Structure formats: C-alpha cells, structure tokens
C-alpha cells in the first residue's frame, strides 16, 4: 500500500467527516450562507477580509439595506460608501469595493464573471475571495484557504512545515485540493471554515467533541496548541499621536488623512505625531499649544492595528479666529461632524467622550 493511496484515503475520510458534521451539527448561522446571489456573496467576502464574522454581519446588513443591488452601490458617492464602512478598518477594501461595483456595472452590465480567473482579475479580489465566490456562487470546484482552513488541515494532517513558508503553502494547497468535495464545493468550503471557527478554534479547541480526533495527528501527538507553525512574527510599530480638538464658536477643525498612511481617506482632527514616547510626553508641556483655555486629556488612548499600535493624547484648544490654526482644515459645526467618516479611535472614543458629552 503506497503513500499516495494512504493520503487519498485519509483525505476522503476527512472530507466525508467534515460534510457529515456540517449536515448534522453545524448550527452557525449567517445571512449570506447558502444564497446564490453573487453580489451578496462578493459583498460578504470583501467585508470579512480581516474582519470577524460577528463584527462584519452588522455591516453586511447595513450595506444590503442601503445598496440592495450592485447598481445601487455603483451609483453611490464614494463618501457615502466610506461613511457606511466607518469603523470597519482597512479602508482600501471599501474603495476597491466601490471601484469594482462601478466596473462590473459598466463592463459586465451588472453581472459578475462566472469563472475563477475572471473573478480573480477584479480589484480587491485575491485567490481566497475568488475561490469563495466561485464555489458559493457558481459551484466551481475551487478550495478556499483561509485561516480556519489552514488551522484545520495543519492539525489534522500534522503539518510540521511553517504554513507561511513556500513549502508550507504548497503542502496546504495540495491537501486542500485533495480534500475538496468536487460535487458540492461550496457546501464543503463553508463546512470546513465553520468547523475551524467553532470546533478547531485557535485557542480552546473542542478536541474531545471533535469527530476527527481519532485520526487527527495534532490531537494524538498533543500538539494542537503548537499547530499551525508560523515562521514570521509580526513586529508592531508604535506611534505617538497628539490629537488636537481645535474649536471656534462650535465649529471644529478637521482634515482628511492623506494616502500612504494609517486612516487614509478618512477625516481626523489635526494630528501632531511624535517620534517616541519621551518626545510625546515632552510635547504635552509645549507652551505653543497651551493657553488658559486649552487642556490635555488625562486619559491615554490606544488602538491596536495589524502592523502598528497607535497611542494618543487629546489636546482641547478653543481659538477665537479660524485663520489662526490650523492650515488646510475644514471647519465643521459640531452637529454636522457625524456626516464625516472618522477612524474608530476618534469616532467611538474621542468624539463620544469630548464632544458628545458637552
């Protein structure tokens, strides 16, 4: 009995077990599950890039309510789309979403390409998203490989190669292809992702209740928490912001963040960035920005992003003439601030604490 035969047999058992679990025990409910409307599938997949299902669901429902068809999304103003996306982060996804909606309407008369290659060519659509749309929307036999799938396959097959390495990616890709249900690829893809999200979880995996535990190499070798292996560790950059709430007769100075940096395309109060925590703390004593009415918040704010951590203190500074400070600012009445899209740190924390409480 050769190795290839044994691997195929193991893959077949894995596939049948995952499908059986899905049909019998999978209770994970999502509004886009099982639908064949490719627009809604695409929308959900773009929202779920870098976003937990629990957070993304509310955004999906808001988008469907405001833009029930791709034509509605295509003809919307970009600022309206970004405002609806506010708080979800990774705003390039939003801009790509709007760009692709217009492209689909103009080029394909509102119909998505019905091939994996055609979907992959769309802006903002990578291999995972193209495979998801192709299998869910068109039943095209393409395996999805996301974090959940990587974790389940790594543990079950005991992959000892780092999954972010070239060899690791090749191994996972081959296993994903071998395990795919060619008759029901969409159902299988949903099943393995849900299995990873609810049973084979990153921490606290439900191994004793798992239907695969008798054949799972990680479980048998007590390596569940050690897999998948990752070779590259993300080193987060630390950044130190002074966020200046500058007001003049109930109008506030805001600026649009420029491309190429965090929060690009969103609005913010003017920011003075400092190179280190030491400089940041020294700046708080800067007489240039302090007068009898100005004050700093006592609270230190923090926002964790994928590749960086933002630390912020707030300077509240009333001025008598708008021309005094700052340059390139829009002066917006307090009651109209909600019409602009702000980063979550500013919208949910700073505006709420320092302006809505007034």
The catalytic residue positions are: 45
190-200 burial: b if 16+ Cβ within 10 Å, else e? bbbbbbbbebb
Contacts of 327 (CB under 8 A, 6+ apart): none
End-to-end Cα spacing for the chain: 76
Q: What gap in Å lies between CA 271 and CA 98, rounded to an integer?
A: 28
- Find the largest Cα–Cα distance for the chain: 86
Nearest alpha-carbon partner for 237 in 283, 275, 280? 275
Q: What gap in Å lies between CA 16 and CA 335, rounded to an integer?
A: 58
Contacts of 319 (CB under 8 A, 6+ apart): 246, 247, 248, 325
Q: What is the CA radius of gyration of the chain?
A: 25
Q: What gap in Å lies between CA 265 and CA 257, rounded to an integer?
A: 5
């Amino acid at each position: 009995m050769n190795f290839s035969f044994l691997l195929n047999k193991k893959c077949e058992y894995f596939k049948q077990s995952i499908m059986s679990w899905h049909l019998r025990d999978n209770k994970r409910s999502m509004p886009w599950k099982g639908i064949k409307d490719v627009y809604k599938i695409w929308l959900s997949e773009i929202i779920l890039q870098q976003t937990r299902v629990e957070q993304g669901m509310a955004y999906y429902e808001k988008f469907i309510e405001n833009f029930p068809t791709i034509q509605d999304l295509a003809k919307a103003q970009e600022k309206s789309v970004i405002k609806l996306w506010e708080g979800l982060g990774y705003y390039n996804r939003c801009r790509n979403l709007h760009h692709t909606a217009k492209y689909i309407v103009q080029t394909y008369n509102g119909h998505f390409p019905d091939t994996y290659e055609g979907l992959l060519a769309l802006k903002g659509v990578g291999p995972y998203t193209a495979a998801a749309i192709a299998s869910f929307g068109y039943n095209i036999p393409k395996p999805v490989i996301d974090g959940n799938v990587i974790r389940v396959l790594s543990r079950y097959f005991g992959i000892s190669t780092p999954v972010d390495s070239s060899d690791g990616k090749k191994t996972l890709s081959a296993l994903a292809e071998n395990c795919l249900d060619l008759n029901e690829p969409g159902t299988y893809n949903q099943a393995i992702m849900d299995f990873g999200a609810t049973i084979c979880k990153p921490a606290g995996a439900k191994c004793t209740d798992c239907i695969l535990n008798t054949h799972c190499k990680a479980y048998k070798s007590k390596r569940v928490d050690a897999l998948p292996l990752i070779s590259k560790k993300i080193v987060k950059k630390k950044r130190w912001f002074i966020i200046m709430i500058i007001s003049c007769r109930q109008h506030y100075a805001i600026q649009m963040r420029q491309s190429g940096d965090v929060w690009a395309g969103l609005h913010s109060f003017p920011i003075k960035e400092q190179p280190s925590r030491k400089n940041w703390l020294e700046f708080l004593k800067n007489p240039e920005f302090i007068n009898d009415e100005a004050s700093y918040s006592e609270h230190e704010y923090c926002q964790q992003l994928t590749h960086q951590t933002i630390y912020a203190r707030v300077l509240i500074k009333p001025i008598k003439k708008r021309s005094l400070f700052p340059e390139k600012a829009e002066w917006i009445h307090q009651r109209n601030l909600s019409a602009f899209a702000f980063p979550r740190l500013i919208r949910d924390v700073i505006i709420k604490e320092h302006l809505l409480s007034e």
